Amino acid sequence: MSDCLFCKIARGEIPSKKVYEDELCYAFYDIDPQAPVHFLVIPKAHIASCGAIDAENAPVVAHIFQVISQVTKEMGVTDFRVVSNCGPQAGQSVPHLHFHVLSGRDMTWPPG
């Protein structure tokens, strides 16, 4: 999508601090980190949110979780939280599917 912030980041049109990239997904540090480690993993193809995952685009989600497992291992991170907010009431502010990976501090439950 031409006017989507995370599509622009995935295309390199808006600068970001890259964590990982392949043909299907892009990972980059969050601009407003909520933990000592906080990066986002996005599909390069535009998917609006978790609510827009279907049988056709689901394989990229499995791939993203594999990437999260690989990247955290490479970082030496063993304990982490993966979050995807779906819809404004749940806290989604960017309408392009993204998975927050947070680590490096104690996490509380339930989330606020």
As measured in angstroms, the least distance from the Cβ of 8 to ligand 5GP is 9
Q: For residue 96, give the amino acid letter.
A: H
As measured in angstroms, the least distance from the Cβ of 47 to Zn ion is 8
| DSSP-assigned states of every residue in 79-106 | SEEEE---SGGGT--SSS--EEEEESS-
Verify binding: residue 46, Zn ion, rule CB under 5 A.
yes
Look at residue 63 and give its three-state secondary structure.
Answer: helix
Binding segment (CB under 5 A) for Zn ion, from list 13-21, 50-58, 74-82, 88-96: 88-96
Verify binding: residue 7, Zn ion, rule CB under 5 A.
yes
